[in-house]
Structure 1
Amino acid sequence: MRDYVPKIIGEESFEHYIGPYRGYDPTTDPSTSNVFATAAFRFGHGTISPILQRLNESFQMHEHFPHLRISSTFFSPWRIVKEGGIEPTLRGTIGTPASTASANMLLTEEVTERLIVVNNSQFTDLASLNLQRGRDHGLPGYNDWRSFCGLERIKTLEGLKEVVRDYRVAEKILQLYKNPDNIDVWLGGLVEDTLPGSRTGPLNACLIGKQMKAFRDGDRFWWEADGMFSQQQKDELLNGSLSRIICDNSNIREVHTDSFRFGKFPNDYLSCDHMPSINLEAWREEKSRDLVQCGTPRQIKNGDFILSSTSGKLVALYSCYHGFKLKGAAAIICEENRWSNQPPQCTGT
């Protein structure tokens, strides 16, 4: 929500459709809308690069593992295992500029001519799948969703040219659809000229923005909601980032401070040693008074316990690992500064 969405719909649309967090709203339905899942968020298919870049530690073309066409990577996890691990691919993802979208080349031919689908021996066309999915789901057309978002309906070729900004593409669309009301919402949203500082046009910015706001405001467990985390914990969570996740889960030691933005290596990169991280000390729990008085319950062989509270008393609940049987009381209670019984045993069955 902080690092990705504003770059997709633009800062202005983010402020208009999402805005600052005001707290949990029980009247907001956080369900995923049909048009978001089926059309709007599939704008990302237009951002797929035909080439999977694989870079070395200097963020240059890898000496041993050259770039790949996307079609040669479908259902090929062995490439990660056998060809240098995940690091060359991760570096290629964060160290390569995103493909420039244009109305006359919405999707790369790697996914429209050579897409592989499981249990299908023939190549598939991702654009055709998206269009048919929208129709199967009964989505209203492009113009109806523009009205939903408070945008002007497209009535003429000139109106379509105005939002697409590519006259030949607009003419081709109307030649195929005959009437602006017939245009599929996935296609209409994708061909719109992008807003400043975004990767989407006005319609998809609206549909994505409204959905993201619903996800956030209708979630009673949202991290910023009252009672979820202490202020100290919230402050630590703000240190989290995709760049930090890459540092913690790969052998990459230098990353851009914001992996959703392209930067040139090494000037725009930072050592993982200096990348902000979440200090888990903010979640350290103080021992309860009962636990201090009774002490930590004794561990048992082939089993474990959890601490619980029953009728205001501290209880240790024991259980055995799979294949072992509990012998003795499963629960012991902290009473009068001592545990009520000896821990049970776990015997083989």
Structure 2
Amino acid sequence: MKKLVILQVLLASHSSGLAAQDPVHMGAGPHDVAAFVQRLESLREEASIPGLSVAVVKDQAIVLAAGLGYADIENGVPATAETAYDVASLAKPLSAVVALRLMETGVLDLDVPMVGYSDWGDFCTDFSEQPSIFARDLRCQPADHTLRHLLSHTATGTAGIRFSYNPVLYSWASRPIMAAADASFSNLVEEHVFMPAGMGTSARKHRDLPLREDLSQRLAPPYQVDSAGTILRAPNLSPQGDGAAGGVVTTVLDLARFDIAFDQGTLVSAESRAEMMAPTMSGSGEVLPYGLGWFVQEYQGYTLVWHSGWWEDAYSALYLKMPALDLSFILLANSEGIWWDNPLDRAEVQRSEFVQAFLQTFAGQ
């Protein structure tokens, strides 16, 4: 890994009257990294984000890792590159790695109708009758939904025809995966993602799996912003099951380790990696904006592969890859301030001001 140098940056939050000092690790290069960090700090203040952690990976080496603001306002704990966050839907690419790895070893077939090894039929019927926006237009007959449909968000309407982001169905994908592997989903993520990627400060949690103590101490508590602009500690978050759509607590440094292991072929083969990051082709031949666990879009001559995470009034996250430049950007926050309200049927990461700052600094956009 490239040698990192340390730049001390004094960061002040004018909106909240807070100040913090945190080392910014950066590698030598042609980019004005200090100006980029200051731009992130300005965006953090504008969005009233208490704490923000960032990492940039270039050529499979970490060239920037930093924390801005506060992980814990009440106790004066600054955010750092080692601060842990609940990354919400940013867990999806990690979950997809598990599915592809099991496919490679012959344990799982992404294209077999799920009714053959799960209770999909009953769930589909019950869920399709719910008032949730994610149940809208869910058709359970013919019973031909596959794991690929769930992991590519092409399960609503006629399966495989159109893209509609659906975290409920993605979360349910853990069930047939667990049935095929005869293991809990959290154990599968530990075995096939955390351990081989060296993600020692990452863990899964759900209603039956408490967060381990060392990460509980690192975890930035969530905050929300009220109508007057005041930053408040968020209420306790609702418990979740052992699903594929979320449940991961991690740091930007560990996600950078995941990024490097993913690109180096440690987690899945080059063929599986390419399949995950390729846009899905619909049954009618249309290019859709999602692969397997990743949004995929073209922007100003580049393919952008990315995922966001959003837990309303609690956490937000962003992970962007530019494969042509061997470049990745990871951003985690203890409020929803990173989120830019991406549509459910499109990929529009360029609308994020954080992404624009990154592209202007590192990709010359």
TM-score of the pair, normalised by structure 1 = 0.26
Structure number with larger C-alpha Rg = 1
Q: Which one has a larger percent strand, Structure 1 or Structure 2? A: 2
TM-score of the pair, normalised by structure 2 = 0.25
Q: Which has the higher contact order (CA 8 A, sep 6+)?
A: 2
